[in-house]
Amino acid sequence: MHLNFADVCFHLGLDPASLTGGSHVVRSPIDGSELARLPPHDRADVGEAVAKAQAAFLEWRGVPPPKRGELVRLFGEELRHHKQHLGRLVTIESGKIIQEGLGEVQEMIDICDFAVGLSRQLYGLTIASERPGHRLMESWHPLGPVGVITAFNFPVAVWAWNAALALVCGDPVVWKPSEKTPLTALACWAIFERAWARYAEAPRDLVQVLVGGRELGEALADDPRLPLISATGSCRMGRDLGPRVQRRFGRPLLELGGNNGMIVCASADLDLTVRAILFSAAGTAGQRCTSLRRLFLHDQVYDELLGRLKAAYERIAVGNPLDPGTLVGPLIDAGALERMQGALERAVAEGGRVFGGERVVVEGHVDACYVRPAIVEMPGQTALVREETFAPILYVMRYGDLAEAIRHHNDVPQGLASSIFTTDVREAELFMSAEGSDCGIVNVNAGPSGAEIGGAFGGEKETGGGRESGSDAWKAYMRRATNTINYSRELPLAQGIEFD
Ligand code: UN1
C-alpha cells in the first residue's frame, strides 16, 4: 500500500471498508502494489442502474437548465476543494505525474465552469418560414440517461467533459470507468454526492458508477434505455461498440485512437519546437490519445533538431510520478511494456534506428514498468508507423516538400490531433486549410496534445468522429425538436400544396 493512499481516500470520502473483500483487484502502476479489492458489478446491476437513471431523468428533465447548472456549479466548487487529493489519487492509480494528475482535475473544474455558463445558453435557431403567418423554431430537450465509458489514461477528466454537459442538458449519467482505474471514479462519485447533498432539487442517482470489465460496457451498449453511449478507448473497442449501439438505433459518441503527427518546417522556432515535442511525445509516458507519435522534419532542420531532441531525451527524469522532479512516470502495466518492446523490435525490422526505449528499473519498484521514451528514425512511414502504439515512441521521418509531408501526415487510419511548427504564414494556413491536416485538432506552433476544454475535442476516420467538451458538443446530449407555429387564421401547406 502507498504511503498516503489511505489518507487520500479518507479525504476524498472513500470508506476503507468498501475497498476490500471483493474480487476486482486494483493495482498502482507506480510499484505494482495492490490498492484495493472491489466487489464488481454484473449485468443485472447495469440493468438496475439504468432503471434508476431513467427514474432520475423523468424528474431532472423538468428542472430548468440554469437550476441544473447550479448543481454543476456546486460540483465544481467541491472539485476545487478536493483538487490536491483527487489529483494525487489520479497519479497513484494511473501513474501520470503529479502535475498532470492535478491538471486533470483542473480540466474537470474548467468544464464545470463551462457547463454552468452553458446552462443559460442551450438555444436553438428561429428560422424564416415559407408560409405566411408561420414561424419555425428549434428547441433542444434533454435526451435521456447517458452511458459513459472511459479509459485509464484520463480517468477523471474525460468523464467530467461528458458528465458536466450531460447534467446541464438534463441527462443522468451511468459511468463505467476503465477496470484499471475504478478508484478515481468512486472518488468522483463521492465528491459529486457532496455537491448533490447541498442541492435540494436534484433527484437521486444522477451519477452512478459501475465497477468491472468489458461485459459491463457491452451491457450499456445494448440497453435501449440509453439513447447515447459516449466511449473513449481503442479503435478496436469502438469498432465493436459503435455498431452495437447503432443496431438498436442508439447514438455512439466515439473518441478512439490517435496517431498524431507534427510537421516541423525549415522556418520553425526550434526552441519552442523541442519543448513542444518533449511534452507531447514523452509526457504522460506517451499514453494520451493526443500524444505525438509521428514527426516529419524538414531536411534543413533534421540534423540539428534530432540532435537537440536526443540530448533532451537523455536528460528526461523517469521515475516515481509522485516525486515533483519526475517528468515521465510508468506505463500502465506489463502488457503496455510488452507492446512497446514489440513495436521497437518491429521498427528495427522495418529499417528503423532506435534511440532510448529501454526499461528503467526504479529502485524499490521492480514490479513496475518504467521506460525511457524512445526516438526512432524511420526510412519512411512503414506499416508499423501507421499503427497507434500506446507508449512513448516517437517515429521521426525526413521530408523536403510540404505538400508531400501533409500527404504522408494524413496517410494513416486515425485522425485525432496534429500540429505544424513554422513561422511562415503560408505554411500555417495551408496546414489548416481543406488541403491540410485531416484531423479534428489542427494546431500551429503548439503540440498536438494538451487541448483546452473550450474547443470541441475529437477526430475523424478511425478516431470515431465524436466531439466532446467545448464549442457546441453539448448538442450530442440533447434531442432537437423542430417546431412550426401557425399564428394565422389560414392553413397554408408547405410546398404550395392545395388539399381542399
Ligand atoms: C485523451 O487522451 O483521451 O488534449 C484525452 C489532451 C487532453 C485530453 C486527452 N486535454 O491531451
Active site residue 439: no
Nearest CA to ligand 1 atom 6: 450
Nearest CA to ligand 1 atom 3: 289
Q: Which of 214, 171, 177, 206 is nearest to 75 (CA)?
A: 206
Instruction: Tell me the best of 237, 291, 457 to mutate to test the pocket of ligand 1, counting ligand atoms within 8 Å of each CB and taking the most.
Output: 457
pLDDT at position 3, please? Answer: 53
- Exactly one of 93, 100, 179, 255 is catalytic; name it: 255
Q: 153 CB less than 6 Å from ligand 1?
A: yes
What is the SS3 assignment for the chain? CCCCHHHHHHHHCCCHHHHCCCCEEEECCCCCCEEEEECCCCHHHHHHHHHHHHHHHHHHCCCCHHHHHHHHHHHHHHHHHHHHHHHHHHHHHHCCCHHHHHHHHHHHHHHHHHHHHHCCCCCCCEECCCCCCEEEEEEEEECCCEEEECCCCCCCHHHHHHHHHHHHHCCCEEEECCCCCHHHHHHHHHHHHHHHHCCCCCCCCCEEECCCCHHHHHHHHHCCCCCEEEEECCHHHHHHHHHHHHHCCCEEEEECCCCEEEEECCCCCHHHHHHHHHHHHHHHHHCCCCCEEEEEEEHHHHHHHHHHHHHHHHHCCECCCCCCCCCECCCCCHHHHHHHHHHHHHHHHCCCEEEECCEECCCCCCCCCEECCEEEECCCCCCCCCCCCCCCEEEEEEECCHHHHHHHHHCCCEECEEEEECCCHHHHHHHHCCCCCCCCEEEECCCCCCCCCCCEECCEECCCCCCEECCCHHHHHEEEEEEEEECCCCCCCHHHCCCC
Q: Which atom of ligand 1 is nearest to the CA of 452?
A: 10
- Measured in angstroms, how far is the CA atom of residue 458 from the centroid of ligand 1? 9
pLDDT at position 364, please? Answer: 85
Q: 158 CB less than 6 Å from ligand 1?
A: yes
Q: 390 CB less than 6 Å from ligand 1?
A: no
Q: How far apart are CA 319 and CA 285, in angstroms?
A: 11
Q: How far apart are CA 247 and CA 232, in angstroms?
A: 19
* CB 161 within 8 Å of CB 106: no
* Total residues found in the chain within this entry: 500
- Exactly one of 289, 388, 439, 462 is catalytic; name it: 289
Q: Which atom of ligand 1 is nearest to the CA of 258?
A: 2
- Measured in angstroms, how far is the CA atom of residue 285 from the centroid of ligand 1? 13
Q: How far apart are CA 448 and CA 291, in angstroms?
A: 7
Q: 94 CB less than 6 Å from ligand 1?
A: no
**Bridge-based pairing state of the strands 134-142 and 126-127:** antiparallel
Ranges of the chain with pLDDT below 70: 1-3
Cα 227 to its chain centre, rounded Å, is 20
pLDDT of 400-442, one tens digit each?
A: 999 999 999 999 999 999 999 999 999 999 999 999 999 999 9
Nearest CA to ligand 1 atom 5: 289
Instruction: Tell me the best of 97, 181, 284, 288 to mutate to test the pocket of ligand 1, counting ligand atoms within 8 Å of each CB and taking the most.
Output: 288
- Measured in angstroms, how far is the CA atom of residue 23 from the centroid of ligand 1? 31
Q: 111 CB less than 6 Å from ligand 1?
A: no
C-alpha cell at 210: 459501475
pLDDT at position 1, please? Answer: 45
Q: 290 CB less than 6 Å from ligand 1?
A: yes
C-alpha cell at 141: 430537450
pLDDT at position 17, please? Answer: 86
Active site residue 265: no
